[in-house]
Chains A and B, each alone.
Chain A
Amino acid sequence: MIDGFKVVNGGIQSLIQDSGRFGFNHLGITTSGPMDQESFYWANKLCRNDPNAPAIEVTIGGLELEAKLSTYIAITGAEVPITLNDQNIKMWETIPISKGEILKFGYMLKGMRAYLATAGGFIVKNVFGSCATTVRESIGGLSQNGIPLKASDLIPCKSYKFLPPLKCETKPSHIDNEIMRSSSTIRVILGYQSEDFSNDQKDIFFNSEYEISERNDRMGIRILGRKIQSSITNMLSEGICLGAIQIPQDGQPIILMNDRQTIGGYPKIGSIISDDLDKLSQLNQGDKLNFQVISKEEAHNLLSLRYFRINKNTPRIDSRALALQVQKLLVKNNCRGMSSISKFLPKDAYFRAAKLLNENHRLVFIGTGFPVNGSFETDGPLGAMAIYESIKIMGGEPYIVCDNPLCDAIKHKFNTIEIKPGDDSSLDIINKYNPSLIISIERPGKNKDGRYYNMRGVDISDKCANFDSFFENAGCPKISIGDGGNEIGMGNVESHLYDLNIKPSSTTCDELLVADVSNWAAHGLLAILSVISNKNLLEDWNNEKMLKLLCSLGAVDGVSGKSSVTEDGFSPKESEFVIKNLKRLSCLC
């Protein structure tokens, strides 16, 4: 069965809309589509959809939906209070929604129409190339019969685990300004029978204030104000374009909107441009408006600018919200209890760490290497190398700080600083290099008894150099990455680690990052750093190739202790999948 959103309450009027039905006007079929196009496009953009993907136009409000799957949504358009399980949520940004949650629209505070998009778009069959709902024509919508959404409908869509958290930073101007409070200027190209309106009649029309009447819907908006008349007494019906202003015998203009009849026999003075149709579709009964003539060349120019603006204004990734999703993704397997531990860390730890790295990348020490049976494990060094490469791209100077045999194995390819068991030269090294930031990744940290233990609780102090002293002695910021509890930095959550089957480390840091595999945390950190620094730091990283290189230099799997091309038991494919998801989340692919 296809899942989606179940309609609990259809509200005043909620319609499935895509960008519209084009090319069938000659059969009498109207264009339909969203009344406020720019807001509609934004809803889709925030879900990374095709801009024309099916979304819901909510008029006035009251729509209530139950999510039958977990995915992401975005709501744009008129200002309206919206709750997700009774918690207020924001408009103009991507919002995760979980199976069983209730999404509820209140009533519009400002404007008339809001747009709800879902990741991948709602899945609705087309009629005449479009799923746009035209109630008047009994065409389109969920059952192709033009019926608005109603209780117990199921609107199919796909489930999404991860979607980049996007945010609209500059709302369309017709939404952002005080349109509802002051008179809106609506621009018009003269056309059709405009020559049959005398100059006096035109003066009245373009110099008077009008008001939206109670008769305004998707078909047309009747406005009230000074009456005007043409010299035409009888005319033949003719094709009507979107935004045409027709003047019936009573002299009160009607603006023909998306669901207009395709032909009509009233004189028309001209037509309104797209930018102002968006504005118009958000006006309420009683709102004031006035008209201004522009040339067709000016209209075309404004339309080009509109296309340019709609294409250019792309949503920004909300890096703090991204950090939350990265955290969720990286502890999903919870193989060593890190999912539970992550709850005791700041929610946006990955964002904070990425920010620290962005601001302090001048000279970075990256401490890594967990001794395993006279060798070293793949987890740690691989992530350290990825961070190392990124710091170089950023223009910084990275050093991998480690003990042997790791140091000898990688020093021909990376700048390294060797540290030795039982020999603490941290102060000399810090003074010599003056690091701007210190990172530890999968580096053993001292237990409160001052000894180092591996994951099986075996004392490895005599084979393990002291990197903890760098954390104690350096004045610069420190970031730690770990996946078990016995690594440097875990001191931040020490009291919670006693529940895990591990001899925890007491060494603290400024920002602690946890993950199922420490290497993955490095990629997560770099994904967020990519967004913050606007550089694609994951682009050139070939994880499997680097893993194989490391294995050829003698690295072993940290969990099995054996020589295999894996990271803590995870195959290169599994790591690649995590990296791919990180790239997707950060819009890096």
Chain B
Amino acid sequence: MPSIQNAGENSIIVYFGDKPSNSVSSHIAEFCNYIKMKHETYIKDLISSYASVLVIFDPSQTNHLIATKIVKNAIISTQEASKKEDSHKKGKLVQLPVFYGGINGPDLERIANEARLTADEVAEIHQSVSYSVYAIGFAPGFAYLGEVDSKIATPRISTPRKLVPKGSVAIADKQTAVYPSASLGGWNIIGICPVPMFDAFQKPHVPLRVGDTVKFKSIDENEFNALKMEFKNK
């Protein structure tokens, strides 16, 4: 049974398990859908992440007691449904093109060397997994994807880079992600993706949702440039 904890004066947090799994992810997805379908005006936001959901409410309209009741109802009502259905049924499959290596993937060679693999093999292993979107946060549109094959899982670099370019595809331990915008970052960069992960002015603002599945697909420089132009002109 998931546990409910206080978070702040306007929020409670629900823990669905100790670690992410298909059943935890699908329960989270069902739970969030259930609450959204209720259209309670005092529920302001739901932040799902790995194995938890932070429920933010409007404390001028409700309180912890009532919010907890709604949350309990939602947990119970979705428990069975989430067990029956296969994992990720609710989420969509998103394919993201990646131009691996070169100046856009400065850490690819190092990862390959450390893993005693070739750069192409690292890229292949990176493409071989269907990743779950476990969380979106840190920055707008930054999706935490897992889990990376342990053969290429690499710890964060010791000194974060001052500027990681927008679209950089990176690995940190068993997680991988696409940087939605240029930012500071300590992940290992292996390539670049031309699909915008965040656009404040165009829909969809963020192409991924928690619970979606992501597959990466290798493209060459020409394809990358062509796709980049395409998104630019959109």
Contact = CB atoms under 8 A, between A and B. Distances in A.
Interface of A: 22-29, 127-128, 136-139, 144, 189-192, 236-244, 261-264, 270-274, 296-297, 299-300, 303, 307
Contact of A238 (B13, B46, B200, B201): B13
28 contacts: A25-B56, A26-B45, A28-B141, A28-B198, A127-B200, A136-B139, A144-B200, A189-B8, A189-B9, A190-B6, A191-B8, A191-B13, A236-B19, A236-B51, A236-B52, A238-B47, A238-B54, A239-B13, A239-B52, A239-B54, A261-B137, A262-B136, A263-B49, A264-B137, A271-B11, A296-B64, A300-B64, A303-B9
B116 interface: no
Contacts of A25: 45, 47, 54, 56
Contact of B138 (A127, A189, A236, A261): A261
Chain A interface mostly? mixed
Contacts of A307: 60
A127 B44 CA distance: 17
Contact of A296 (B9, B49, B52, B198): B9
Contacts of B13: 191-192, 238-239
B138 A28 contact: yes
A382 B181 CA distance: 69
Given A28-B136, A238-B49, A238-B50, A273 B9 contact: yes
A23 B43 CA distance: 9
Contacts of B11: 239, 241, 271
A27 B140 contact: yes
Interface of B: 5-11, 13, 19-20, 44-54, 56, 59-60, 63-64, 135-142, 144, 180-181, 198, 200-201, 205-206, 210
B50 A236 contact: yes
A42 B210 CA distance: 39
B47 A242 contact: no
Contacts of B144: 237
B54 A240 contact: yes
A451 to B, nearest CB: 70
A230 B169 CA distance: 33
Contacts of B8: 189, 191, 241-244, 270-272
Nearest to A243: B8
A271 B7 contact: yes
Given A22-B44, A27-B205, A236-B19, A262 B9 contact: no
Nearest to A22: B44
A274 B137 contact: no
Nearest to B64: A296
B137 A28 contact: yes
A22 B45 contact: yes
A271 B64 CA distance: 14
A234 B37 CA distance: 34
A261 B142 CA distance: 11
A109 B178 CA distance: 44
B57 to A, nearest CB: 10
A232 to B, nearest CB: 12
A25 B55 CA distance: 11
Contact of B10 (A190, A192, A242): A242
Given A238-B54, A239-B53, A299-B9, A28 B44 contact: no
Given A26-B46, A239-B48, 12 more contacts: A26-B136, A127-B201, A136-B139, A137-B140, A139-B140, A191-B7, A192-B6, A236-B49, A236-B51, A237-B144, A241-B8, A271-B11
A22 B41 CA distance: 13
B74 to A, nearest CB: 16
Given A239-B53, A241-B54, A263-B135, A27 B5 contact: no
B73 to A, nearest CB: 20
A321 to B, nearest CB: 33
Nearest to B54: A239
A233 to B, nearest CB: 13
A48 B17 CA distance: 49
B5 A191 contact: yes
Question: Which of B47, B48, B63, B141 has the largest count of A CB atoms less than 10 A from its CB?
Answer: B47
A244 B50 CA distance: 19
Contact of A28 (B10, B56, B63, B139): B139
A23 B44 contact: yes
A520 B91 CA distance: 69
Contacts of B200: 127-128, 138-139, 144
Contact of A261 (B51, B64, B139): B139
Nearest to A27: B206
B142 A28 contact: yes
Nearest to B32: A26
Contact of B9 (A27, A138, A300): A300
Contacts of B19: 236
A190 B64 CA distance: 13
Contacts of B136: 26-28, 262-263
A236 B9 contact: no
B84 to A, nearest CB: 25
A239 B10 CA distance: 13
Contacts of A144: 200-201
Contacts of B139: 28, 136-137, 261
A139 B140 CA distance: 10
Nearest to B175: A237
Contacts of A274: 9
Contacts of B201: 127, 144
A27 B141 contact: yes
Nearest to B210: A26
A388 B20 CA distance: 79
Contacts of A236: 19-20, 49-52
Nearest to B142: A28
B7 A244 contact: yes
B50 A26 contact: no
Contacts of A27: 136, 140-141, 198, 205-206
Contacts of A190: 6
Contact of A300 (B49, B63, B138, B140): B63
A272 B6 CA distance: 12
A25 B7 CA distance: 15
Contacts of B138: 28, 261-263
